[in-house]
A = this chain, B = another copy of it.
Amino acid sequence: MHPPVLEGNLAQPVIRRLNAMRQLSERGIALLQQAIQDGLHRARPGEDLATEGDPVDSVRIILSGWLCRYKTLADGRRQIVNFVLPGDSCDACVYLLSVMDHSIGALTPVTYADIKRPVFEQLLASDRSLEEALWCETMVSSAIQREWTVNIGRRVALERVAHLLCELYERLLPVGMIDGDSCLFPITQMDLADATGLSVVHVNRTLQELRGSGLIVLRDRILTINDLKQLKDTALFSADYLHTKRHG
């Protein structure tokens, strides 16, 4: 049903992402690709891949599209706690906890592999490099979560939005989704607001400020970063927390 050559392409972001954490063995890559091919799924924008309170029984690996993890308060306030990008895994290990404590929603059309728990465990057990890479990715995800806490807790609006843009840029880079200094940026200002803990109105004004100082262009779902260095400076951004090993 899916020609193998196409699947190979689909798995590219995952392999690139994991390779950046730990050099994957040939065998590991093959096993991973097989597992991905066997579990292909799609989701539409707005659809939830998982909802707070759901039992967890499988791991999802994102092949294309953007998602977000979010939590909702009783009165409707929503906080996006992280974005999930191509190559990321959803809850590589959260299945150790039996219930989801947050929801995962698709922001765009999404392609992902759904790998059932036993299959996933076998995958981890059969290749050491794969196991380490996937744990590593989970740890990086925690590190990102910590930085978000800092971002929302201690940065002012301008810094905060700038920081988020820097992070997304740096995360999209290793999976090959940056074209020059531009990338697709499929999220609304409302999403941005829920991710930064700001109001939509203020996000709008903050973006205008960033545009006004010539740092970025954001139009028609395309983000262009004109001056990455200065954007990082205004964001007080350091990429260390992403633990991206630079290698050849």
Binds B, one of A28-36, A148-156, A165-173: A148-156
A146-B243 CB under 8 A given contacts A74-B236, A152-B197: no
Contacts of A236 in B (CB 8 A): 73-75
Residues A170-202 near B (CB distance < 8 A): 196-197
Residue A81 at the B interface, CB < 8 A?
A: yes
In the complex, how many residues of chain A place their beta carbon closer than 8 angstroms to a beta carbon of chain B? 45
Q: Is the CB of B71 within 8 A of A101?
A: no
The CA of A132 and the CA of B121, in the complex, are separated in Å by: 13
Chain B residues closer than 8 Å to A9, beta-carbon distance: none
Q: With the chains together, A96 CA to B136 CA distance in Å?
A: 6
Interface centre among A94, A101, A136, A241 (most CB of B within 10 A): A101
Q: Which residues of B contact A136 (CB under 8 A)?
A: 96-97
Give the residues in chain B near A139, CB-CB below 8 Å: 93-94, 96-97
